[in-house]
Amino acid sequence: MSNKSFIKPVLFMAIVTVLFAGSLAAVNYITKDQIQFNQDAEQRRKILNVFDRLPEQQDDATIEQVFNDIIVEKTIDGKTGYALVENGEEVAYALEVAGSGLWGSIVGYLGFNSDFTETTGIDFVQQSETPGLGGRIDETPYKEQFRGIDITNAQNGNYLVNRPAPGGNIDAISGATQTSNSVINLVNEDLASFLANPEVK
C-alpha cells in the first residue's frame, strides 16, 4: 500500500465525508419539525407572558392552543408584533423592542393596552447579558415590574424610569446597572417612536 498515491486519500476522504454528512442530514431532517416546534413554543410562551395570559398548565400543547385562541399576528410600527383579541376586539398589543445591552443586542416584546395608556408586561426573546447579573432581566421578579405601568404622562419620552430617580417605576438589578439602563432606554426609545405615530396593521 503506497501512501503516496493521490487517488486513494481523495477517494477515502470523499467517502467518509459523504457518509457522515449523509447521516447528519438524515438526523437533521428527522428532528427538523421538533426543533421548529420548540422554537415556536418558546415564542408563544413569551408572547402570552407579555399579555399576562399564561395558562396554569404550561405544557407546549396547552400553550399552543391558548395562543391560537387569543393572539393574532400583526405588523406594529413596521415590525412583527402581536395583538391580544378578546370578545372580537383587540385589547392589547405587543411591540417588538430592540437595542444593545452590555454584551450584545437585547430583543424583546413590550405589551400595552389598545388605548396606549398602560403596559401589560415584557419578555425578552434574545439577550446575552452576564448570567446571574444582567441575565436576571429574564427572571420573573424583574419582568413582573413592567405590568400596569402608566404611559400617558411621560417626561421627554421617559415612560420607564429606574428608581430612585423621581418618577421611577422600575427597580434596577443591583450589580447590573448597565444592563438595567439599556433595557429602560431601548424600551423607551421604541415605545416613543411607536406612540409618535401609532400604526398597527
Residues forming contacts to another protein in the complex (CB under 8 A) are: 3, 8-9, 12-13, 16-17, 20-21, 23-24, 27-28, 31, 34-35, 38-39, 42, 128, 130-133, 175
Nearer to another protein, 75 or 105 (CB): 105
Nearer to another protein, 21 or 72 (CB): 21
Q: Where are the beta strands (DSSP E) in the chain?
A: 71-76, 79-86, 89-100, 105-113, 119-126
Q: What is the DSSP letter of 22?
A: H
Nearer to another protein, 46 or 119 (CB): 46
Residue 77 Cβ vs another protein, minimum distance, rounded to whole Å: 27
Give the span between the Cα atoms of 32 and 164, in whole angstroms. 48
Q: Is 91 left (phi over 0), alpha (psi -120 to 50) or beta?
A: alpha
Residue 79 Cβ vs another protein, minimum distance, rounded to whole Å: 23
Nearer to another protein, 8 or 163 (CB): 8
Residue 139 Cβ vs another protein, minimum distance, rounded to whole Å: 11
Residue 52 Cβ vs another protein, minimum distance, rounded to whole Å: 22
Specify whether the CB–CB gap between 116 and 194 falls below 8 A: no
Specify whether the CB–CB gap between 179 and 137 falls below 8 A: yes
- Residue 1's nearest CA partner among 17, 12, 15 is 12
Residue 17 Cβ vs another protein, minimum distance, rounded to whole Å: 6
Nearer to another protein, 141 or 166 (CB): 141
